[in-house]
Amino acid sequence: MPDVAIIGVGIHRFGRFPGKPALAMGAEAARDALADAGLTWADMQFAVGGSYEVDQPDAVVAELGLTGVQFTNVYNGCATAGSALALASQTIKLGQHEIGLVLGMDKHESGAFTADPQEYGCPPWYGEMGLFLTTKFFGMKINRYMHDHGITHQTLAEVAAKNYRNGELNPNAHRRKPLTPEQILGSRMVNYPLTQYMFCSPNEGAAALVVCSADVAHRYTDKPIYLRSVVTRTRRFGAFEVHTPSASVAADHVPAPTVDAARAAFEAAGVDPADVQIAQLQDTDAGAEVIHMAEVGLCADGEQNKLIASGATAPGGSLPINTDGGLIANGEPVGASGLRQVRELVLQMRGQAGDRQVAGEPRVGLAQLYGAPGVAAVSILST
């Protein structure tokens, strides 16, 4: 019997909302999730909030109601939502509280993320030389991966085209205009081999989940979706990661943190990668989706060309991936991104995904996050 159930999901559309504060979007996502669960803010015994740009996500209580609730703020890079979900899960498993809200929100400037390199353990010259850039890391990683495993430029373009097609069917996506593989390949080269339309962009939005002890989930819903496991990991010695001036050659074939997180998540959930019927992966760029398919264990290195060309990862395929358009169509408000993934899994597993509903109501789903400076989170859900 799983310990934790997800009984409500909510979202504030991802995109650009000039003049609208992140906390206002967070409040809307929270209300959406509470309404989905048939509950009110006053029913929440605890809350966890995640954001990069908002110092105190708990300030959302000004909008939701000053109930005195325990509200913990977390930040863990692109894996923030994974850590927020992990904290909520632990709170329930420890018996501290029975029911609570997990909320993520962000409002980023446009363009690639930047920061003080020293805040990431890197020297100032690394930033001054233009090396402190996530996009160039993703270009270098997929370029090497293509060389090692024969992934083609066409495969990268097909992945992005699929995610734009999925975004077209998602009323909450930022980019809803389908693009052909030719348009994607022909767009401006950002970091070879990755073109403009192969990248997601930082943007704005919020997402929320209502979680409770699995013991009481049937009080609130006929169809609880269970959180079977959520695991976060950081990079190991020798791994090739974002914001790393050097890596050792003494540790070749070191697994990426996503590999470690996925293995631990599968073990804790007691399920096998072959059981997964739907996945939401961190597609910071089209290459990242390709690599993460293998890193979480859903295919072998090099199999992606065939899987993507055959449509296996499209909504009608055997292993649909990023069914709501992923980061490529939704953008990445860091604090909310992973909760959007979990919301999409829940909707698909309930059979409530509307126009983009995949066939056969999947019973096991996986969500994965990855970001600087080498942090990953993997969650596994089941009906």
Partner 1 sequence: MAPVPIADDLFTWPDDEPRLIGGRCAECGTHVFPLRAGCARCGAAAVERALLSRSGTLWTWTSQGFPPKAPFRGEFAGTDPFEPWLVGVIELPGQLRVESLITGCTQDELEFGMPMRLVTMPFRTDEDGQEIITFAFSPEGADHA
The three-state secondary structure class of 17 is: coil
Pick the closer one to partner 1 by CB: 145 or 226: 145
Q: By CB under 8 A, is residue 237 in contact with partner 1? A: yes
Provide the phi-psi class of 24: left if phi over 0, else alpha when psi is between -120 and 50, else beta: alpha
What is d(CA 17, CA 218) in angstroms, rounded to the nearest whole number?
Answer: 37
The residue type at 150: G
Provide the phi-psi class of 311: left if phi over 0, else alpha when psi is between -120 and 50, else beta: left
Q: By CB under 8 A, is residue 143 in contact with partner 1? A: yes
Q: By CB under 8 A, is residue 200 in contact with partner 1? A: no
CA 151, distance to chain mean position in Å, is: 23
Among the listed ranges 42-50, 85-93, 140-148, 304-312, the one in contact with partner 1 (CB under 8 A) is 140-148
| Interior angle at CA 124, CA 109 and CA 127, nearest 5 | 45
The site for partner 1, by CB under 8 A, has a size of 40
Per CB under 8 A, the list member of 41, 46, 52, 132 interacting with partner 1 is 132
Per CB under 8 A, the list member of 24, 140, 264, 268 interacting with partner 1 is 140
**Which backbone phi and psi does 155 adopt, to 5 degrees?**
-60, -45
Pattern 77-116, binding to partner 1, x per CB under 8 A? ----------------------------------xx-x-x
Among the listed ranges 79-87, 122-130, 176-184, 202-210, the one in contact with partner 1 (CB under 8 A) is 122-130
What is d(CA 120, CA 135) in angstroms, rounded to the nearest whole number?
Answer: 16
Q: By CB under 8 A, is residue 264 in contact with partner 1? A: no
Tokens of 257: 């943190």
Residues constituting the chain:
383
Q: By CB under 8 A, is residue 201 in contact with partner 1? A: no
Q: Which spans of this chain sit near partner 1 (rule: CB under 8 A)?
A: 111-112, 114, 116-117, 123-133, 136, 139-141, 143-144, 147, 188-194, 237, 240, 244-251
